[in-house]
Amino acid sequence: MIVAPERIPVRTPGGSYDVLVGPGLLRVVGGLVKRLAPGARCFLVTDGNVARLHGPIVEGSILDAGVELFVATQNPGEASKNWFEAGMMMELLSEAGFGRDSVLVALGGGVVGDLAGFVASVYMRGVPVVHVPTTLLAQVDSSIGGKTGVDLRHGKNLAGTYWQPLMVLSDTSCLASLPESEWRCGFAELAKSAFLAGDAETAGLEASCEQLVAGDEETVRAAVLMAAGFKARVVSGDEREDCDREQLNYGHTLAHALERELGYGTVSHGVAVAEGMRFAAALSARLAGAAPEWVQRQERLLDSLGLTRGSYDLASDKLLAAMHADKKARDGKVRFILSREPGQWSAVTVEDDILREALDMWRQQGREGS
Ligand code: GLY
């Protein structure tokens, strides 16, 4: 059965574009690039794992469209998201004679998208990039909204730009090959998006958990559409995180601290975000008037998505120090996105003594597995 892709518009001062969501889009990358950028040469950025799975289809579609193609394949993983790789890629672009007529195509997950987007934003002071996200996390979050970046020694994404893509092509059929840990990363961001979007979206996700965890294609497609649509609305209203976009950090303050203290890659981003959401919900009950039923509702949804609680051998003070080092901290204070109920949020500065107590409680609950 051929399913026509859904089109989600993103409209920002930095660029307007469509996010297409549906199965089979990998086969039409070349034709769509040619239509949007006639005469362009294509520089495809991917990683070794994605290249094995999806490279031939995408490369074939670009060549079949009569577009000149150059392929740069990175080592898979966060370690590739650095200055050196970005610089090497720009050297490759210039050696191969790519000019302003280039289009970068980022085929892969968040690492490939952030790195290729960053290179596209600075090479020749900016060339177009098309995102072709192949992970659930990238389809529901990182490919939309134009954030690009590389990691520095002191943390993730500490250098970056806003660079809106020419187009985002989310082929939901390529998610079937994802490993379990990648599904969980995407599930955590899906849960976050549903809670922030509102009661109907939360109820929809609750009702579809079983099929989602089983990887049912239509359910996955509907969930990607919900989250991508929500993100598109938020970034269209606030491209540069001056106000509304900040809500997307819900669950991420503790998540970043956990990842930093445990070592990147030791805990998956999805598991860390789920822990961060539980922590933010507990803080929301204390500081933002969230009802216990709502906190429980979030707990149940995360559990149903396989994002169960963990126990971490980390002192509260270490986590607190890592939160202070976060680039979102302001004037030496840690800021949290809290939520009273689905669809509502506020950015709140939280004092250290409250955070320390809440962290002790969160660690205790983790040990008890509740
Ligand atoms: N991932 C959060 C944002 O794009 O703002």
Q: Is 149 in the pocket of ligand 1 (CB under 6 A)?
A: no
Which residues are tagged catalytic? 125, 147, 189, 231, 241, 245, 249, 252, 256, 269
Tokens describing residue 83: 């200055």
Element (H, E) at 183: helix 180-197
Q: Is 141 in the pocket of ligand 1 (CB under 6 A)?
A: yes
What is residue 327's predicted lDDT score, i.e. its pLDDT? Answer: 74
Integer Cα distance of 121 and 109 in angstroms:
18
What are the structural domains, with CATH classification, of the chain?
6-177 (3.40.50.1970), 180-369 (1.20.1090.10)
What is residue 241's predicted lDDT score, i.e. its pLDDT? Answer: 96
Tokens describing residue 286: 């204390």
Integer Cα distance of 42 and 63 in angstroms:
10
Number of helices (H) and strands (E) in the chain: give both, helices first.
13, 11
**Distance, first Cα to last Cα, the chain:** 44
Tokens describing residue 236: 């269209």
Which pTM does this prediction carry? 0.95
What is residue 325's predicted lDDT score, i.e. its pLDDT? Answer: 85
Integer Cα distance of 213 and 226 in angstroms:
16
Tokens describing residue 168: 């985002």
Backbone angles phi, psi at 314, to 5 degrees: -140, 130
What is residue 370's predicted lDDT score, i.e. its pLDDT? Answer: 56
Tokens describing residue 234: 């938020």
Q: Is 110 in the pocket of ligand 1 (CB under 6 A)?
A: no
Residues in the chain, pLDDT under 70: 1-2, 370
Distance 69 CA to ligand 1 centre (A): 30
